Structure 1
């Protein structure tokens, strides 16, 4: 035991006995053997017990999971491919966790062998436990959160990625039928099969237009209103700000449903009380013509989104020193020059990360698209509506046509696009860099 080690023993006594490479190889063969070789008996025995217990407790499950994720079943009606896929992903996660600890065990064995050769003497059991507690306490406290994160975030993500490479749909649904791995077949269909290609192109283009136009409009409107209200000549600022933020106080789905009723082609107030009295006829096809529906959606999103931007910009504008504007006036700057060189740079510098989030949020803004007109109207030759964006199309593929694998493939594309855009923009944003010139 550690208590039997002679503290006065010279490093040369250990150098003849301990080989770090031997300790490493022993730990690779069986976790804990390297620690026993280093005469860390309590730690070595604990590692051996943990490894044997893990193997005995999970061997059957790991074997089933690995077999299942490779084959997805072999007997229709008996093997459930989706269950086997779930078991396989869980098995891979367990192996990843166990592998991480195994690697740490190997590193620990080699490192301690080197330390002992350099004269380090292991403390007693009591001191070892105290040192372990001091070093491991933060990890012990975060461990439940990490486990929860793995099985509530990482697991669903891996499951969705796996589905994207299968043929899981209404016609290949277990347990009656088996699901098969098809590689990049779903992604290939998106660019080669006419139905999928036409739909994907149309929906993708509209998603980009929707994201850029709707978000830019709400930002511009919020900025203009914030600058106007912040003008020192404007009276009753608090009242005006309260009125302008009111759309934010109403739940979004309530506002969307109200707008859907107002723009109804047959009985909506917009056609009945405004359009028809002005131009006659039957009014405008707000819900039956994709062009008009898209215009309305952009207008509604501007209405719903500008209050947040307005409140954000208002706070930033009040933090800009009035001395800067006074100095600009002394230099003969016009209102536009003061706005362009003082107001706008400071506002964008302080709010750029949140503005980027506005774009990424609208890219996946399912609520307004689906609640207003369920992504409609229908378009001939496509399996998505005329105003469907990628996320609402994924919803329809999942819950209406049960094409789970294609929905997963499109979701993977969405995730990659949003991640790349966000990372690229954040890295270019001054707010995430060290102080510099504005």
Structure 2
């Protein structure tokens, strides 16, 4: 009889109609009350226990955290501003999780009241546990990963963002001194204070030039070599490909340190054995003149980066049907026309996401900048080296001058720039669209 009533969408005769709004309001007042109103007693009691346990277990910590993130301490030497900031961020994360649970509790109470009014029969406790296991199993399995993600990715990100709006530096280091909220002060300094303004403009321009030129060179060299080796007239393709990807086999930091020694102004092989015998003098100032250092850095990055691009393009080129080229030859197409209309579009369509990643990777390519010359040489009137990019400048601000808040502000700018560039390019890339022709 109950089954027939459920199928017909009518309530049993002895069951009163529930008010979904009442269930929702009760759940807002206390998690679980709405479920009890819906006669889901076990679920309601479980929600009530969870809420009370959360309040009792975290109340003191949440109070301290919210007070700490608001004030960052009031007594120098006693209150540790950074610890209070950490407690505050953790408190906000816990409150966010609690808010998600509370919203679920309210929505669940209202929906179940509507379902019961529509004739849904409340399952037994055994059936409820089985349904809970079936529905919650994926979430139970992913919960540890979610918690790990929150505290290894989300928490550090929020902490760095928060530091960008403080005055945390060598002279405002707890516990001796308190850190204070200064709003957009760090960003205003980057735009108005001469030394910060000049340094940021110089480093920013070089970072953009470095990213575009170095990455484009390695892509162009990789493409040219891949096209040449893929030519059907070339023999010993396997041997040639093996030789061309050898730079990829050597760890990058080893190659960078070797190049740093080779280009040393005083004893490097480039000056001693090549430049001086050819032009005389003391050789070229590879490590002491920013212009020459930048040229060398671009050349080294091209050497380090082209093998990956070459291997990537080689695989894609072999997937292009030879019939396309034969048809083009019949139509009288030249080699350049075949390359421009067949080879290049196909390669870019298949590899665009990875090529975009090459640009974003070089934008933050700390290793080559720092290992080659530590971002040097020094530049008068700036607090960054002549070849520092944004990420290496952030490193120096953090570990050499202890200007943590300014480093966090610049890191936030870097993150925004990379995110905007990546999102813009991905949205324009055909590889990420469901449909599209080459």
**TM bracket, shorter-chain basis:** over 0.9
2:315 is the counterpart of 1:315 = yes
2:261 is the counterpart of 1:261 = yes
1:18, CA displacement in angstroms?
A: 1.5
Tell me the distance in 2 between the aligned counterparts of 1:436 and 1:60. 57
Matched with 1:340 is 340
Q: How does 1:375-386 map to 2 (within 5 A)?
A: 375-386=375-386
Contact 1:80 1:178 in 2 (8 A): yes
Matched with 2:186 is 186
The 1:178–1:13 alpha-carbon spacing in structure 2 relative to 1, beyond 3 Å, is farther
The 1:76–1:324 alpha-carbon spacing in structure 2 relative to 1, beyond 3 Å, is same
Contact 2:164 2:408 in 1 (8 A): yes
Matched with 1:146 is 146
Tell me the distance in 2 between the aligned counterparts of 1:321 and 1:6. 62
Matched with 2:55 is 55
Contact 1:14 1:116 in 2 (8 A): no
The 1:8–1:358 alpha-carbon spacing in structure 2 relative to 1, beyond 3 Å, is closer
Contact 2:5 2:12 in 1 (8 A): no
Tell me the distance in 1 between the aligned counterparts of 2:50 and 2:344. 60
Tell me the distance in 1 between the aligned counterparts of 2:283 and 2:390. 30
Q: How does 1:388-407 map to 2 (within 5 A)?
A: 388-407=388-407
Tell me the distance in 2 between the aligned counterparts of 1:14 and 1:107. 26
Tell me the distance in 1 between the aligned counterparts of 2:192 and 2:209. 23
The 1:6–1:361 alpha-carbon spacing in structure 2 relative to 1, beyond 3 Å, is closer
Matched with 1:133 is 133
Which runs of 5 or more structure 1 residues have no equivalent in the other structure?
Answer: none
* Aligned alpha-carbon RMSD (Å): 1.3
Tell me the distance in 1 between the aligned counterparts of 2:333 and 2:432. 30
Tell me the distance in 1 between the aligned counterparts of 2:371 and 2:205. 21
Tell me the distance in 1 between the aligned counterparts of 2:296 and 2:18. 76
The residue matched to 1:394 in structure 2 has which SS?
A: helix
Matched with 2:31 is 31
Deviations 1:124-182 (A, max 9, x none): 01111111111111011000000000000000000000000000000000000000000
Matched with 2:88 is 88
Tell me the distance in 2 between the aligned counterparts of 1:101 and 1:196. 45
Q: How does 1:216-235 map to 2 (within 5 A)?
A: 216-235=216-235
1:8, CA displacement in angstroms?
A: 6.1
Tell me the distance in 1 between the aligned counterparts of 2:15 and 2:376. 77
Matched with 1:328 is 328
Q: How does 1:103-122 map to 2 (within 5 A)?
A: 103-122=103-122
Matched with 1:365 is 365
Contact 2:426 2:432 in 1 (8 A): yes
Matched with 2:416 is 416
The residue matched to 1:315 in structure 2 has which SS?
A: helix
Contact 1:7 1:121 in 2 (8 A): no
1:119, CA displacement in angstroms?
A: 1.0
Structure 2 length as normaliser, TM-score? 0.97
1:15, CA displacement in angstroms?
A: 7.8
The residue matched to 1:11 in structure 2 has which SS?
A: coil
Tell me the distance in 2 between the aligned counterparts of 1:354 and 1:67. 45
1:6, CA displacement in angstroms?
A: 11
Contact 2:5 2:11 in 1 (8 A): no
The residue matched to 1:382 in structure 2 has which SS?
A: coil
Matched with 1:351 is 351
User: After TM superposition, what 4+ stretches of structure 1 lie above 3 angstroms from structure 2?
Assistant: 5-10, 12-17
Matched with 2:69 is 69
The 1:33–1:249 alpha-carbon spacing in structure 2 relative to 1, beyond 3 Å, is same
Which runs of 5 or more structure 2 residues have no equivalent in the other structure?
Answer: none
Structure 1 length as normaliser, TM-score? 0.97
